[in-house]
Amino acid sequence: MKYLVIFISFFCSLVQAQEALEVEYEEVSIPRIIGKDGKEEKLEPEFLQALSTPKNYLLQIKENVSVYTKLEKVNNSQNKSSVQMFGIIPYNVSIDFNKNEMKREWLIEHKRMIVSDTISTHLKYELTQEKSTYLGFDVKQAVVKYDNNNKSIIWYAPSLPKRFGPKEFINLPGLVLKVESIRNGIIDPSYSLKATSVTTKDHLEFKKLFKAKEISKAEFEKLKADYNQQSLNENQGVDKN
């Protein structure tokens, strides 16, 4: 009987480990622009409206591997406002915990590249005793404090694959389903990231990152520094010749 219990326990763990999931998220991200006087500048109404439109993402998970990609959905509304971003822009990311490997798409102006690195996050989590439910799952709370006035409240589901989540919200003891920004003690509408569905998949085919040259993090940091210096020189009217 002892061996039977061990076998059943192992079988259940194996099934859970191999379960494939797709999680859809909606993100609203409105940057804060601080002027030279140190005060926050107001955004133009059309620009603010375009930024307030949620962006859709898909997180695919299977066998300790995930791919997080942006979903391009057709906007049928009469408001055709859109925002074009320039500079150094991050895009989709893949994570392989089996290999401790993270690959992220980046765009510096119009030049594409894949940056390969070990798995890491700059976030420092404080796990709390707060509990709730979200999308029918029991969730627990983690907090990331940026300063005395700003923090992120993160809700993760321990019953779903651990360590996975959208963007940099990884390495928690459960799947991250919801992130809200808190400023001065209240929910800040300028940033939110919320799962809208969690679907179990019998067959999952990962979305692929775009084709580009793969470089190391050190090489990317050098390219980024060169780009920032070039932009600074151009803004200051420096003649490099």
Domain ranges within the chain, ordered by starting residue: 21-73+84-235
Contacts of 172 (CB under 8 A, 6+ apart): 125, 142, 154, 156, 162, 163, 165
pTM: 0.80
The tokens describing 157, both together, are 């589901």
Predicted pLDDT of residue 36: 63
Predicted pLDDT of residue 79: 52
Residues of the chain with pLDDT under 70: 1-18, 31-41, 43-51, 73-86, 235-241
Q: Which of 90, 96, 57, 95 is nearest to 177 (CA)?
A: 57
CA 214 – CA 72 distance, rounded (Å)? 24
| Mean pLDDT over the full length of the chain | 83
Predicted pLDDT of residue 78: 54
Q: Which of 220, 31, 234 is nearest to 108 (CA)?
A: 220
DSSP 8-state secondary structure symbol assigned to residue 114: E
Place of tokens 């920032």: 228
For 21-73+84-235, CATH number out of 2.50.20, 3.40.120, 3.30.70, 2.60.40 equals 2.50.20
For residue 61, give Cα distances in angstroms to 21, 138, 166: 5, 19, 11
